[in-house]
């Protein structure tokens, strides 16, 4: 079995953008439209206010995830753009990316991490709950949308 390597990458880097496009296409298939219309500025994923990570298997980018600051207290991170390519699923990529994102946020002083997810993502919901995330009141761009589920956990 190949080892998963996770590296920090710029949100706008070509491999990051390729994975993000795939993630949005997946969400578009599940929910319609563009997949996610949440406003995002790539600068939000630069330390110390955020980070974007890419997972590699055999030197190929196969997954990603990032965090950006949320709120004004400097203690909360928001998880964004978690994705694993279909060919790499079931190999621990998403869990490895999630752990690395959490560690990055923790290293920058965040004490809590939150996320928005949709009810048509049962794999993601199962992974988040297994990782200790609990339902929280909806927040963010989709907080009023049917099927929006928000989760959070202490880091």
User: 10 Å Cβ neighbour count for 79?
Assistant: 25
Q: Is the pTM above the cut of 0.85? A: yes
Using an 8 Å Cβ cutoff, are 81 and 20 in contact? yes
Look at residues 38, 60, 61 and name the one whose alpha carbon lies nearest to residue 115: 38
Q: Which CATH number is 4-110 given?
A: 3.40.630.30
Structure tokens belonging to residue 74: 């400097």
Q: What is the pLDDT along the chain (155 residues), one digit of tens a residue?
A: 579 999 999 999 999 999 999 999 999 999 998 888 888 999 999 999 999 999 999 999 999 999 999 999 999 999 999 999 999 999 999 999 999 999 999 999 999 999 999 999 999 999 999 999 999 999 999 999 999 999 999 99
Q: Which residues pair with 113 in a beta bridge?
A: 77, 153
């Amino acid at each position: 079995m190949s080892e998963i390597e996770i590296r920090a990458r710029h949100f706008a880097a070509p491999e990051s953008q390729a994975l993000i496009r795939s993630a949005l296409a997946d969400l578009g298939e599940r929910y319609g439209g563009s997949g996610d219309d949440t406003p995002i500025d790539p600068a939000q994923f630069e330390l110390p206010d955020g980070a974007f990570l890419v997972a590699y298997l055999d030197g190929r980018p196969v997954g990603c995830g990032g965090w950006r600051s949320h709120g004004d207290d400097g203690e909360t991170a928001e998880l964004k753009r978690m994705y694993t390519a279909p060919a790499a699923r079931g190999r621990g990529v998403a869990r490895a990316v999630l752990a690395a994102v959490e560690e990055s946020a923790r290293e920058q002083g965040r004490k809590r991490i939150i996320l928005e997810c949709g009810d048509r993502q049962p794999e993601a919901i199962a992974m988040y709950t297994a990782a200790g995330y609990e339902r929280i009141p909806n927040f963010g761009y989709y907080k009023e949308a049917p099927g929006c589920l928000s989760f959070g956990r202490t880091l």
